[in-house]
């Protein structure tokens, strides 16, 4: 058998059926473009009979996709099959994917038909689909709970009627890997013309085994995996595309299979689908989760600094992540902090390093996670203010709807501690008024700008302040979890620069 595994993506069909994951036409086209570009072999674009919008989406994707097979889903009804054929007819490589339930519980309660009636419908639906396209996939819904003898009869009938792909789905996520392996092995051994069709796995994750079950099916001879980006789908979701692809790539020793996916696009695809569906990816999600290549433990960080393979089984670049993240937190050591500074391009003196590390620890106690941007802001401020003649010692601001706002500020001015209380039209105005009272000056505030350094309500605020005086203009920046503290420090940084520049100008004039 070939070791090539076909990746069949059903994000736009089964994935969109997930409650709340409905996509607009434009969004579906975006996802289809991404799937085609990353090397997906089959794109199941939708369920054409479901609505006019779904039909239009499948039709446009069929016309648009350049490389992948475009499939439309249909039930075992003539109208469904004809509608699917109409939707995919303009594709370079069209496929009709038609299904019918074969388990006892489905036949009795859902279809209300006998096994013989279902078998006749299998033959009729595949024959009709094959008259419209050359590529027909047939699925036995709830296949893993279907009686083996009846399953074999249905598969044999579907292949004789012209099905080129046979999908045995674990529709309700009921099976386990050992059962799944034996099921595919049994069917392929008992169906006379099994070699005339490609067998496919379609697993749901109700028991958390979708990926394991899919790989078990492949080991038993299946050569198509049906999956979705981020594993989205009905109930607990489908097999996650990124997980099966990287499992085959990472463990070639026990999973000697290949696929056409460009793995460096996995993270981009994950983020696109997450953004479009508004379904966040869990932080510890395999392959594409935010923490998949992040290390915070001091022991892990030490190992990673010595050799990446101590704690990573694949490179972040292989899935489209720029680099490993040594997440800095309150348990991080001095060596990890020093290495992080080196990565960020900083070379500090021993005194600067000690001061920066102390302030880093203080910040880590206040924040759940310290990002690279936090450290950059912290060190930039540390370097900029190391020679300043004025520094913030403490700041207390009383604000709210019952103004005026009151600020109590203490500064270290060239070694002397001074404190003042002021009011203002808002907390920032009160803070800047306090600085003006302690350090009288004629500088004009030309810019005051605030933005969050990182995401989250505990993010550091980075404040930029530009002061101008007598033809000179300087900018001060500071970052702190408290916006008002950052504002005071940024203002003082600019004021320090302005005074230092003024002193240099006066010195040059005197010379």
CATH of the domain at 159: 3.20.20.70
Residues 393 and 377 grouped into a single domain: no
Do 53 and 84 share a domain, yes or no? yes
Alpha-carbon torsion angle 28, 31, 35, 41, nearest 10:
-20
- Tell me if 288 is assigned to some domain: no
Range of the domain at 37: 6-277
131 vs 69, 121, 123, 126, 193, CA distance in Å?
18, 15, 12, 9, 20
pLDDT of amino acid 350 = 85
pTM of the model: 0.69
Q: State residue 313's pLDDT score.
A: 83
pLDDT at 380: 62
Domain count, the chain: 3
Mean pLDDT, 10 residues at a time, the chain of 511 residues:
93 90 91 97 97 96 97 96 98 98 95 96 98 98 96 98 98 97 98 96 97 98 98 96 97 96 95 89 89 69 70 85 72 81 76 85 79 70 63 94 91 93 96 96 92 79 88 82 94 87 72 69
483 is a domain residue: yes
Residue-level pLDDT at 376: 67
Tell me what pLDDT residue 505 has: 67
51, 25 Cβ separation under 8 angstroms: no
In a domain, 226, yes or no: yes
CATH of the domain at 503: 3.30.160.270
Same domain, 122 and 176: yes
In a domain, 134, yes or no: yes
Does residue 352 form part of some domain?
Answer: yes
- Do 314 and 453 lie in one domain? The reply is no
The β-bridge partners of 46 are 72
- pLDDT, residue 295, reads 66
Asked if 401 and 344 sit in the same domain, the reply is: no
Together in a domain, 214 and 75: yes
| C-alpha dist (Å) from residue 252 to 3, 245, 448 | 11, 11, 56
Residues 371 and 451: their CA atoms lie apart, in Å, by 15
Do residues 341 and 379 make contact, with C-beta atoms less than 8 angstroms apart?
A: yes
Same domain as 400, residue 365: no
Residue 358, in any domain of the structure: yes
Let me know whether 66 and 215 are in one domain: yes
Taking the C-alpha atoms of residue 230 and residue 241, their distance in angstroms, rounded to an integer, is 7
* Strand 136-141 versus strand 165-170 pairing type: parallel
| Rounded distance between C-alpha atoms, residue 486 and residue 378, angstroms | 11
Say whether both 408 and 327 belong to one domain.
no
Q: How far apart are CA 481 and CA 224, in angstroms?
A: 50
Joined together, the tokens standing for residue 45 give 């674009």
* 220 and 122 part of one domain: yes
What's the confidence (pLDDT) of residue 383? 58
- Token pair 């939707």: residue: 87
pLDDT for 297: 62
Looking at residue 367, its pLDDT comes to: 75
287 domain-assigned: no
Say if residues 101 and 110 touch (Cβ distance below 8 Å).
Answer: yes
Q: Are residues 77 and 97 in the same domain?
A: yes
Q: Does residue 224 share a domain with residue 129?
A: yes
Report the pLDDT value the prediction gives residue 266, as an integer from 0 to 100. 96
């Amino acid at each position: 058998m070939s070791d090539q595994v076909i990746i069949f993506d059903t994000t736009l069909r089964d994935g969109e059926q997930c409650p709340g994951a409905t996509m607009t036409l434009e969004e579906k086209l975006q996802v289809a473009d991404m799937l085609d570009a990353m090397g997906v072999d089959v794109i199941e674009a939708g369920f054409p009979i479901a609505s006019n919008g779904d039909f239009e989406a499948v039709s446009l994707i069929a016309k648009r996709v350049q490389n992948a097979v475009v499939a439309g889903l249909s039930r075992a009804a003539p109208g469904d099959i004809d509608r699917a054929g109409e939707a995919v007819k303009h594709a370079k490589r069209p496929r009709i994917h038609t299904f019918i339930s074969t388990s006892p519980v489905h036949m009795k309660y859902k279809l209300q038909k006998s096994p013989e009636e279902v078998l006749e419908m299998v033959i009729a639906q595949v024959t009709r689909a094959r008259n419209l396209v050359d590529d027909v996939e047939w699925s036995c819904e709830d296949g893993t709970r279907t009686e083996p003898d009846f399953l074999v009869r249905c598969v044999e009938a579907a292949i004789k009627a012209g099905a080129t792909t046979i999908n045995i789905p674990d529709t309700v996520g009921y099976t386990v890997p050992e059962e799944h392996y034996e099921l595919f092995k049994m069917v392929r051994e008992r169906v006379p013309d099994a070699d005339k069709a490609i067998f496919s796995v379609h697993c749901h994750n109700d028991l958390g085994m979708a990926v394991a079950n899919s790989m078990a099916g492949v080991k038993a001879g299946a050569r198509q995996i049906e999956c979705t980006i981020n594993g989205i789908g009905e109930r607990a979701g489908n097999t996650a595309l990124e997980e099966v692809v990287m499992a085959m790539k990472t463990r070639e020793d026990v999973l000697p299979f290949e696929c056409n996916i460009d793995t460096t696009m996995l993270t981009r695809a994950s983020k696109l689908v997450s953004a479009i569906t508004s379904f966040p990816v869990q932080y510890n999600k395999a392959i594409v989760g935010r923490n998949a290549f992040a290390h915070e433990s001091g022991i892990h960080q030490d190992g990673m600094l010595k050799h990446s393979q101590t704690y990573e089984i694949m490179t972040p670049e292989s899935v489209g992540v720029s680099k490993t993240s040594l997440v800095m937190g309150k348990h991080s050591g001095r060596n990890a902090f020093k290495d992080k500074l080196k990565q960020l391009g900083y070379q500090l003196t021993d005194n600067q390093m000690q001061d920066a590390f102390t302030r880093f620890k203080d910040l880590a106690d206040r924040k759940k996670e310290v990002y690279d941007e936090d450290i950059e802001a912290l060190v930039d401020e540390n370097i900029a203010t190391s020679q300043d003649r004025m520094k913030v010692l403490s700041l207390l601001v009383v604000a709210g709807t019952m103004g005026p706002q009151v600020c109590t500020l203490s500064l270290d001015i060239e070694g002397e501690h001074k404190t003042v209380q002021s009011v203002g039209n808002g907390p920032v105005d009160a803070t800047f008024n306090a600085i003006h009272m302690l350090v009288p000056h004629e500088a004009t505030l030309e810019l005051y700008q605030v933005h969050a350094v990182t995401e989250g309500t505990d993010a550091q605020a980075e404040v930029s302040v530009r002061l101008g005086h007598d033809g000179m203009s300087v900018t001060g920046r500071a970052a702190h979890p408290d916006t008002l503290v950052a504002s005071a420090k940024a203002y003082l940084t600019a004021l320090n620069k302005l005074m230092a520049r003024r002193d240099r100008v006066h010195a040059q004039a005197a010379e």
